[in-house]
Amino acid sequence: MTSSKSGARAKAAKTPTKASAEAPAKTPGAAKASKTAKVTKSTKPAKAAKAAKVPEAVKVPKGESHLALVRRARRINRELAEVYPYAHPELDFRNPFELLVATVLSAQTTDLRVNQTTPALFAAYPTPEDMAAAVPEEMEELIRPAGFFRAKTKSLLGLSAALRDDFGGEVPGRLEDLVKLPGVGRKTANVVLGNAFGVPGITVDTHFGRLVRRWKWTDEEDPVKVEAVVADIFPKSEWTMLSHRVIFHGRRICHSRKPACGACPIAPLCPSYGEGETDPEKARKLLKYEMGGYPGQRLSPPPDFPGKPAPALGAA
């Protein structure tokens, strides 16, 4: 940094976010970030975004050591924890079976559409035994809004029959058992383990993979390899909540085609800053769900969720 120690202390006193204060001395542009917004339980997300200031792009040194990468990644996680203290699985469920089914249905569609579809599905087939005995054509009609309804019906019938025949009608709590079920891969298994059984897991969906590559945590494309790299960076106790925070950020701010860089609370720590809209006013218009003042994805969100519940299927 070019300023004196007293000048740096004076500047830090005016900077409300840890992200700017903690940025490495060798990281260009981080020292120029004056204010970034944080969301706490007492701060509305949409208002917090209005305070975001635009920093210069943060460049990650080509020769960044593993230790430096770990420190930088963990700072990002701490910032996300303050931005999304209410981060949670965005699928509605009341038990492990419902979460398993909802996660299978979520492939190639939004959690919102799944949440709008599952009430009627679970009313018709509340248990694995009920679902295994379903008439395929009738189930297809119930899950049609979630897309790929024929393939998903086949998976649901298969996994329900396996639960009935091999696991006594109960969802197993082990990764090696879950991935044997039809339509269940590592991502789905980690979602179920982390959120229904409290077993730490990293959920590498499209949002998670996109963001960790933007943050230069890894350049791997294969989800299994991404999971292994990230698992090496963070303690196991952080895996499940880290997944929620990163996915929340990807859905709300760091979008695939046009990230809202100018409204991003962790912009001073992002090596890919500038890929999206940097103008704060224009960036705020890109915010989604509760960050933009809109309903979330769950029809039955947790009590601490600061946004609005999603509407039921067919609601105005």
Phi, psi dihedrals of residue 166, rounded to the nearest 5°? -110, -20
Q: Encoding tokens for residue 10?
A: 């004076």
What is residue 170's DSSP assignment?
Answer: S
Spatial separation of the C-alpha atoms in residues 279 and 262, rounded to whole Å? 5
Structure tokens at 33: 């970030």
Please give the Cα distance from 157 to 16 (Å, whole number): 52
Taking the mean position of all CA atoms in its chain, how far away is CA 26?
29
116, containing H or E segment: helix 111-124
* Angle at the Cα of 314 from the Cα atoms of 131 and 84, rounded to 5 degrees: 85
Q: What's the rounded Cα separation, in Å, for the pair 248 and 246? A: 5
Given this model, what pLDDT does residue 157 score? 98
Can you give the pLDDT of all 316 residues of the chain as single tens digits?
444 444 444 433 344 444 443 444 444 343 333 333 343 434 444 444 433 443 444 455 567 899 999 999 999 999 999 999 999 999 999 999 999 999 999 999 999 999 999 999 999 999 999 999 999 999 999 999 999 999 999 999 999 999 999 999 999 999 999 999 999 999 999 999 999 999 999 999 999 999 999 999 999 999 999 999 999 999 999 999 999 999 999 999 999 999 999 999 999 999 999 999 999 999 999 999 999 999 999 999 999 999 999 999 988 5
For residue 18 the two structure tokens come to 């840890």
* Alpha helix segments (H runs only) across 184-275: 186-196, 206-214, 223-233, 239-252
Instruction: Give ∠ CA 148-153-154 in degrees, rounded to 5.
Output: 105
CA-to-CA dists, residue 306 to 26, 39, 242, 292, 302, angstroms: 37, 10, 19, 11, 9
pTM: predicted TM-score of the whole model, two decimal places: 0.81
Q: Tokens representing 52?
A: 């975001």
Q: Are 83 and 38 in contact (CB under 8 A)?
A: yes
> Could you report how far apart the first and last alpha carbons of the chain are, in Å?
54
* Dihedral of alpha carbons 136, 137, 138, 142, sign: positive
Q: Which amino acids are annotated catalytic?
A: 187, 205
* CB count in 10 Å sphere of residue 5: 8
Q: Report whether 101 contacts 118 (CB < 8 A).
A: yes
Specify the amino acid at residue 209. G
- Tokens representing 131? 């679902």
Distance CA 144, CA 279 (A): 40
**CA–CA dist 92, 201 (Å, integer):** 19
